[in-house]
Structure 1
């Protein structure tokens, strides 16, 4: 831990505390002094307050980590506080918990190793060694490697005593360090020098009489010098001088003070000169990435330029080391990790190296789905066991990815790998069968279906699933079950039915494919899907069916196509009409909002027009002309006031209306209406109506054959009921009094937003959704309904546009068509509303 700027281990701190306690005991007689005792009590109180504050802070961090274990800063603060308080057991657990989620920095690993060494002593050598071994895996750190090597040489008995096993162990560790950081241009020479010093120490332990062993060790040291001199590193000239001095000690005739290559072998001289040229080519890049006071953007750009240079040289090992150096400074840069892994996949292709890099990449950037996908593919290429691939897949699903499509890619990648390994029979130890693929698909369905709005992605998943069920699983019933389950989720999607039909057709099941057409040709699909499915059925019968099958399909499809054609024409007509009305009202609204300038211009133009008209009418007298202009201005003002205030007054006046539900006391309910009835020209109704007719539509704007008509009294309503069972366009009308309470008492199902629900309490429906299209632009500013007493006498009079729900509308109302929203159009289109042909007159 850090005390007064120095790094102090836990053991040293505890020793210091013991010494302080001894000093306190020795000076016990001094505490009899009242002043000293008072100062001591003050210090004790201060320490107690600090300890209480630390305990409270510790408890807060523990609560935060228990609720959010992915909080990196909380982990760091928690570990620092535990280390400061000397909580050894909790400290170890905290470090393990953090390392399970995040990689640790080299400084954190170094502190961990030092604390463990100070606590456990020589008996804990193995534990400290494991900590160092784990630490050098997370990030490239030359200093941590040097600490690791020094610790092994000092505390491993076999290495310290230079036993054959100890020497072999140390050499293997040095070679690992050189592979990881020996090409580090700025700091790699530290490991080379440490390696040479170890071999020199081994040389001194060899018996002088064992000439062969000494010559072998000398040659080993010489090879290390030669290897280092062929690598572009800093202080390469100093290394050459050290080599010459060592050769002189071995009896070679060289000028040890000369920095030239005179006297050394031609092979070594050539390698040294190439290394110097390589270092000079990289010196500028090294200077740029080591500059201080650079922004992260500039430093990242310098690293990318350096990487571009190393890639042009074409040494994969040097490129990999430079990537590792960049990751130390930018550990959570997903672009850097993706670039690194793509490079390794293209060039290095070493299974163990790729596995380690992907493991660290997903640990640093777990929110990048592409890294998890590449990780699983890399494991498959390296022929990793099924258990390891499955573990990586499960970890990826526990991460928070950016989009639902990334989760879809994970599931599909998993299925692709299982399919390939099952077909090839590559698994030896792990037995793979198709049930694992089925379980993965089911998991994907449960996981993605509630959230996957992209129909193409959902269709791809289920189509792939059904194809594998039939081809790999050899289960046609299961394949059909997959399509049926998808239809339950998205039954109004045209392409899903076609995919189901395509599977049946390709497998030769013509009768089953025809049955799907019969089930779906009358369904309502988005866009032109309803027409397309009809034409597709006809083509299907032309290619696969008999003449009788084709005639039967034609008989079913023809009236459906006529109905759809008529509906499209009506939609286009209403859309164009409503658009022109909206444009006109928008222009008028803009004119009203134009301010005094537009008013003055309009007034000036109007005065000129009135002057001309007055002259034609004989208004030669100025007083008469002025009086005429004043009258016109007053009329214009009245018109504007009516236009501006009408919707506001109506909306204010409807506050009381929206606070009381309507009970359908004098309302007629008509059902079984043919859709052609609404296309007839409306004659004048001979019976007094209060409002309506209100037609009922579904969310797509299709007529349901239902309507409501309000009457002013029971006499006229009873007269209209006598028309019950009358035929209209071959359909027998059902006319009856609307009685929602009786429907509920009888246990009949009352459709939502139909019947009396169109006048439900305004507290259950948002009035702004049902505003008249003439006042649609102001609906967002409609006042909230006022709360009235229960004994208020409320009656419906005039045109009530606020109590009409979204599925029951009278003529003149508009809505946003969900079909248009699906297609991506935001313009307002008119609802399919028409006046009903009057059948209530004698």
Structure 2
């Protein structure tokens, strides 16, 4: 019993412990439940907060997507907006909208390599099922068209390997690889990757046709094995014939793989490729170290390949250049021109033109070339018309661009017409296009640009000639010319003469006479010319009555014109006099203020002037070269005060002939006798060998207005001195004559400047070009001497609106290799500096900077600076002579004793003193004259 009671007690204790443990576990579980509930509450709050933040982000992203889509609906050609929209949609995971956005961008622009690879990888992940592989293939086909990109071709080939199991899959992979090596196999730095991938694929295929060890192949299996081995041999041979960077490794691999060794022909081709690689290596290395976009380096490379003449290599270097410089219109123009003139392969040419206008749609020249290429390769009419309509929507930057693209299309339509038929569908379409073009110029172009772009109405002139010549419809031509004249062209003589020539060729004498009578009454620029044409016409065609009417009308008109010109000249002279009076007053006021301060400084200069006035010559001496006035000697950097004093006489030099002429009165032939300097111009820098200079000058200046006198200056022996004077009847003609400054006359630039007496107008300066910074103008140096203005314009035309191009030349007309190009604004000039600086033009590397000419230190009369203080070159402008012989007469070597007299404003010293000082005092013309006459 005792034992049983112990067991019961033990059992009760165990039960109590179990109950206590269960209670504890219960309590623990309750605490855990409470803790879990608390933890779950925290987690729920965090999730709710994350959901709130994500919902806010989604709202912001959706708002941004809507904003970008609205912006693209306004301007579909906003490239950066397309990129931003694609980026936001990809963040949101909007796959369908993302695909649509990419497709829209691809329709408008060629996509870069990075955008295409990103798009392709997304589509590959989305279309892993077999039936959808064709969509990815289509996308790859679109991608490889935009640019030559080895990475895209490699991705295309690798993706196609995944479809080898389908019928014809192996052949499809091989076809894609073949297209890849054809397209990018010549890429010197990246093409070898495609070749190696192709060989790796063929090696895998080789392993599938090789038999297990010990098994004998039948004839068919042996043929397949040999064919596969030959494919790999062929790939090695083809790759080793193409120059690649590090191609030595490929040759070593072939040696190791080939059991029979490398054939001599393969080795020969390999060495030839190595030689080509050595030629191109410097260009490739330059590209590796250059900063994007590497345009100058690529340009040098292109010039090299063009000289080599291999079309395939020229094409691949152009494609590589355009992949990194896709927004350079000139490069596209150069590439498409090469394809048009050299390769002439329809598919390649049209594809390149299409890519060009998609990359640079604002460039009219690319659209024009595309239209011509479509016609050249026989495109159907609807295709050409659709292309033209697309070009009109491209958004050109100048009104003249629309005129030119219309003219290109009208030329195309004219070439389609068979004018042997009186009426045809093509002729009606041509007339309708002409009418539409005129409406387009009036409504669209003028509203956008504020100008028609065709002020001379060239389009209407061409239409009128077509109607008169081909359609024999002179009445329609006259209607068109009436419209031309009402558009502000009736005041121009050349327009009336163009109309007269049309009537002369296809009309009748009655309408010719009417046109010339209207021309005489309306012409404002050259009424004398149309009057002469009218009188000549009446001499040939008219009666006496017609002649009398013509004479009366021309005389009346010319009298009225001359009266108007005289009135305008008088008004201009009065304004000039008022300006001169104000300038004199300002100068006098300034001198009065400076007077007490500069008395001491001006003493020597005053003595010098007094001594010069006391000279035997009786005229103020001028320093020159004996052939041209020194005031008209200038450099291209600037022309300082080119004017011709009416009393000009060349400086005398230290020789007997000059000394003998000291006391000789001025030759009448050398002394200009112009009655009115305000109506005269001074002509200089003409060739001394110019035959009949008076006739030449009349030919040059007769278009400026009626000429009173032309006076070329001759030496005593009758030789032309290279300069002269032209006096007009009216001062109005002077402004027109000055526009002819630097016109080339027999290989030399002719200098034209106002004829101003510098003795009376010492402050007169005519410095043509600025000496301060011109932010809208660029200065180009290092140009080849063969570079013409047209070539330079071709280089710069894609960089902005060119206002002026000035080629810098020597006085002889020979180029200096320098030029100034003025753009419409500072931004275009800055972009031109960035894009042109360092460019290679005909093997010359040019330097480009914003124009900042150096300031010119021109001494003004009365400024207090002494001419005598400026040291003269002892040996002349060409340096010390080779022989070191003195050309001074012996009698002049015997210097007289020192005398205390003043020469040229300074006290003369003895010869010994001068020698002791180590300086030789320069002698004037008067000094030479006195010494010779005193002997």
Tell me which interval the TM-score lies in, with the shorter structure as reference length: 0.5 to 0.7
Match of 1:383 in 2: 378
Give the conservation status (yes or no) of the 8 Å contact 2:185–2:195. yes
Give the conservation status (yes or no) of the 8 Å contact 1:117–1:124. no
Tell me by how many angstroms 1:586 deviates: 4.3
Cα distance, 1:304–1:131 mapped onto 2, change above 3 Å: same
Tell me by how many angstroms 1:30 deviates: 7.6
Give the conservation status (yes or no) of the 8 Å contact 2:368–2:405. yes
Give runs of aligned pairs for residues 348-367 of structure 1, distance below 5 A: 348-367=343-362
Match of 2:81 in 1: 74
Match of 1:404 in 2: 399
Match of 1:197 in 2: 200
Tell me by how many angstroms 1:185 deviates: 0.9
Match of 1:791 in 2: none
Give the conservation status (yes or no) of the 8 Å contact 1:112–1:131. no
Within the candidate set 519, 539, 542, 2:539 is matched to: 542
Give the conservation status (yes or no) of the 8 Å contact 1:113–1:131. yes
Q: Secondary structure at the match of 1:458?
A: coil
Give runs of aligned pairs for residues 171-190 of structure 1, distance below 5 A: 171-190=174-193
Structure 2 residue 452 is the aligned partner of structure 1 residue 445: no
- For the residues of structure 2 that align with 1:355 and 1:512, how far apart are their CA atoms? 48
Match of 1:613 in 2: none
- For the residues of structure 2 that align with 1:457 and 1:575, how far apart are their CA atoms? 29
Match of 1:347 in 2: 342
TM-score (norm 2): 0.55
1:184-221 per-position Cα deviation (integer Å, ceiling 9, x unaligned): 11111121122223334444555953133433333233
Give runs of aligned pairs for residues 398-797 of structure 1, distance below 5 A: 398-422=393-417, 433-449=426-442, 450=446, 458-494=456-492, 495-523=494-522, 525-528=523-526, 530-588=527-585, 594=590, 598-599=592-593, 601=595
Cα distance, 1:496–1:36 mapped onto 2, change above 3 Å: same
Tell me by how many angstroms 1:232 deviates: 0.8
- For the residues of structure 2 that align with 1:307 and 1:424, how far apart are their CA atoms? 45
1:560-610 per-position Cα deviation (integer Å, ceiling 9, x unaligned): 222222222222223212321232234435666x5xx744649999xxxxx
Structure 2 residue 117 is the aligned partner of structure 1 residue 106: no
- For the residues of structure 2 that align with 1:452 and 1:542, how far apart are their CA atoms? 45
- For the residues of structure 1 that align with 2:96 and 2:208, how far apart are their CA atoms? 42
Kindly indicate which of the two structures has a greater share of residues assigned to helix.
1
Tell me by how many angstroms 1:556 deviates: 2.8
Q: CA RMSD in A?
A: 2.9
Within the candidate set 146, 154, 174, 1:146 is matched to: 154
Cα distance, 1:604–1:186 mapped onto 2, change above 3 Å: closer
Tell me by how many angstroms 1:268 deviates: 1.1
- For the residues of structure 1 that align with 2:588 and 2:105, how far apart are their CA atoms? 66
Q: Secondary structure at the match of 2:243?
A: coil
1:60-112 per-position Cα deviation (integer Å, ceiling 9, x unaligned): 22222222222211110100110110112221221122122211112211222
- For the residues of structure 1 that align with 2:356 and 2:553, how far apart are their CA atoms? 59
Structure 2 residue 252 is the aligned partner of structure 1 residue 241: yes
Cα distance, 1:282–1:556 mapped onto 2, change above 3 Å: closer
Tell me by how many angstroms 1:154 deviates: 0.8
- For the residues of structure 2 that align with 1:136 and 1:167, how far apart are their CA atoms? 21
Give the conservation status (yes or no) of the 8 Å contact 1:405–1:457. no
Tell me by how many angstroms 1:411 deviates: 1.7
Match of 1:276 in 2: 274
Moved more, 68-77 or 577-586: 577-586
- For the residues of structure 1 that align with 2:321 and 2:37, how far apart are their CA atoms? 59
Cα distance, 1:268–1:31 mapped onto 2, change above 3 Å: farther
- For the residues of structure 1 that align with 2:598 and 2:146, how far apart are their CA atoms? 81
- For the residues of structure 1 that align with 2:117 and 2:514, how far apart are their CA atoms? 71
Match of 1:137 in 2: 145
Give the conservation status (yes or no) of the 8 Å contact 1:359–1:375. yes
Structure 2 runs not aligned, ≥5 long: 1-34, 211-216, 600-935
Match of 1:119 in 2: 126
Within the candidate set 19, 33, 37, 2:40 is matched to: 33
Cα distance, 1:469–1:447 mapped onto 2, change above 3 Å: same
Structure 2 residue 358 is the aligned partner of structure 1 residue 393: no
Tell me by how many angstroms 1:491 deviates: 4.6
Cα distance, 1:564–1:311 mapped onto 2, change above 3 Å: closer
Give the conservation status (yes or no) of the 8 Å contact 1:116–1:124. no
- For the residues of structure 1 that align with 2:38 and 2:354, how far apart are their CA atoms? 60
1:666-690 per-position Cα deviation (integer Å, ceiling 9, x unaligned): xxxxxxxxxxxxxxxxxxxxxxxxx
Structure 2 residue 241 is the aligned partner of structure 1 residue 230: yes
Q: Secondary structure at the match of 2:244?
A: coil
1:259-313 per-position Cα deviation (integer Å, ceiling 9, x unaligned): xxxx32211110111112222332332222122xx4347x322222222222232
- For the residues of structure 2 that align with 1:520 and 1:121, how far apart are their CA atoms? 79
Give runs of aligned pairs for residues 258-297 of structure 1, distance below 5 A: 263-291=261-289, 294-296=290-292
Give the conservation status (yes or no) of the 8 Å contact 2:399–2:452. no
Structure 1 runs not aligned, ≥5 long: 1-27, 253-262, 426-430, 606-842
- For the residues of structure 2 that align with 1:31 and 1:401, how far apart are their CA atoms? 69
Q: Secondary structure at the match of 1:521?
A: helix
- For the residues of structure 1 that align with 2:38 and 2:103, how far apart are their CA atoms? 45
Give the conservation status (yes or no) of the 8 Å contact 2:236–2:254. yes
- For the residues of structure 1 that align with 2:285 and 2:431, how far apart are their CA atoms? 56
Tell me by how many angstroms 1:124 deviates: 2.1
- For the residues of structure 2 that align with 1:392 and 1:277, how far apart are their CA atoms? 45
Tell me by how many angstroms 1:31 deviates: 8.7
Q: Secondary structure at the match of 2:51?
A: helix
Give the conservation status (yes or no) of the 8 Å contact 2:160–2:172. no
- For the residues of structure 2 that align with 1:383 and 1:424, how far apart are their CA atoms? 21
- For the residues of structure 2 that align with 1:543 and 1:274, how far apart are their CA atoms? 75
Tell me by how many angstroms 1:160 deviates: 3.0
Match of 2:658 in 1: none
Give the conservation status (yes or no) of the 8 Å contact 2:474–2:506. no
Cα distance, 1:171–1:526 mapped onto 2, change above 3 Å: farther
Tell me by how many angstroms 1:485 deviates: 1.9
1:331-389 per-position Cα deviation (integer Å, ceiling 9, x unaligned): 11223222222332332222221111111111111122222222222222222222222
Give the conservation status (yes or no) of the 8 Å contact 1:538–1:553. yes
Q: Figure out how many residues of one structure are paired with residues of the other and give that number.
A: 547
TM-score (norm 1): 0.61
Match of 1:653 in 2: none
